[in-house]
Structure 1
Amino acid sequence: MTNFNDAEKIAKQIGETLRKIRKEKGMSLQDLANITGVSKLTLGNIERGEGNPSLTVIWKIANGLTIPISALLQEKQEVIISRKNKGNKILSTNEACTLEPMFDAANYGSLEIHRAFLKPNSTYSPGAHQSGVIEYVTVMEGELKIQIDDDFYHLYQYDSIKFDGGRKHAYSNPTDKETVLHFVMTYANS
């Protein structure tokens, strides 16, 4: 798991990046609060590196800014190796899902790649993302039940699914073992 120093570093990095993006867009903290549904106080704490935002809060911010979430986690490097459990981690509010962005979206790019670890017998419900997001999900280990609007799909190891991430969706692990997922997300509006 992420130790305190790593969590502090991630929080500071997210805060610095968020402040930079907000200023580039000419927005005040109140403007950002209005479009994200995250309070001005919380956003200020995040920008100062004083908060360790949950995955839900990071999604709200990214959706409001119409950027990939990995844009908030950028680290400047020329060659990047993404190793399991070595990169940044973001927990869902209910701690059912751990997301590991694998590579940054340089300059708020139109593609991001993540590893996700879904706890046994748990559900992660990100809801709907911004318009133009397409999700590609592959089950690397375990099983996945995914709900997209009112439809349900059951995937097994190495099965993949593609769908409009702008639709309400939820991921469930119906087993007693961790499910490992590989996400590729594209952003048409980037």
Structure 2
Amino acid sequence: MSNPEVLVKRVGTTLRKIRQERGMSLQGLAQRVDVSKLTLGKIEKGEANPSLSVIWKIANGLSIPISVLLNEDQTVKISRKNTGNKVVSANSACILEPMFNVSHYGSIEMHRAYLKPNSEYFPGSHQSGVVEYVTVMEGEVKISIEGEMFYLHQHDSIKFNGDREHAYINSTAAPAVLHFVMTYTNT
């Protein structure tokens, strides 16, 4: 999607729908996801463009994949690089591009991630039941999982429980491209 305003509206509409389906007030949602009521209200109205960290907080608090918030209703979809929705990390080190959006709070999602040279991306930990499968498509990446470092080169893959503190580190002068598959067993 090339129009950020449409994406912002979609996130807001989807968030409001989920909140209302679960019978939650805006204040209740704010307490559950650790994002201010004011910010959530602006997101629901399409008046705020949430950062990747805010979208993760919301998704984790609601126990849903982040791609649910970016849902598009299409039966057949081709995901071409650099043409989909994009969410940028707070430090701008990582651009996440959901590949195929799930509907009805699905249990799997796929993303491309573009990690800038000499940068770090700390998503923290996700809700219980999340398993991450990560493949390095281009470049080299170090992945820190609760302080233990794993070195991955092009086409290497790793699987780990996403509810553990983790970070992605690109200490090279070239960008890295990652492919994420995330499964949610508690959805």
Class of the TM-score when normalised by the shorter of the 2 chains: over 0.9
SS in 2 for 1:145: strand
CA deviation map 1:28-53 (0-9, x unaligned) = 11011001110000000000000110
Q: 1:171 is matched with which residue: 162, 165, 168?
A: 168
Give the aligned partner of residue 117 of structure 1. 114
> Which of residues 46, 55, 58 in structure 1 aligns to 2:43?
46
TM-score (norm 2): 0.98
5 Å matches for 1:143-182?
143-182=140-179
Q: Which amino acid aligns with 2:11?
A: I
Structure 2 CA distance for aligned equivalents of residues 105 and 8 of structure 1: 20
Q: 1:21 matched to which residue of 2?
A: 18
Counterpart amino acid of residue 37 in structure 1: D
The root-mean-square deviation of aligned C-alpha atoms, in Å, is: 0.8
CA distance in 2, matches of 1:95, 1:8: 19
* Structure-to-structure mapping, 1:35-184, within 5 angstroms: 35-184=32-181
Q: What's the offset of the Cα at 1:108?
A: 0.7
Name the counterpart of 1:187: 184
Q: For residue 42 of structure 2, give the secondary structure of its aligned residue in structure 1.
A: helix
Matches of 2:163 and 2:7 in 1, distance apart? 27
TM-score normalized with structure 1 length: 0.97
Any stretches of 5+ residues in structure 1 without a counterpart?
none
Cα distance between partner residues in 2 of 1:104 and 1:36: 21
Q: In 2, Cα distance between the equivalents of 1:86 and 1:22? A: 29
SS in 1 for 2:98: strand
Total equivalences in the alignment: 187
Aligned-pair identity in percent equals 65
Q: Which consecutive residues of structure 2, in runs of 5 or more, have no partner in the other structure?
A: none
Superposed CA offset, 1:116-163 (max 9, x none): 000000000000000000000000000000000020001000000000
The residue number in structure 1 matching 2:4 is 7
Q: Distance in 2 between matches of 1:90 and 1:175?
A: 22
The secondary structure found in structure 2 opposite 1:34 is helix
Q: CA deviation at 1:106?
A: 1.6
SS at match of 2:121: strand
Structure 1 residue runs of 4 or more that deviate by more than 3 Å after TM superposition: none
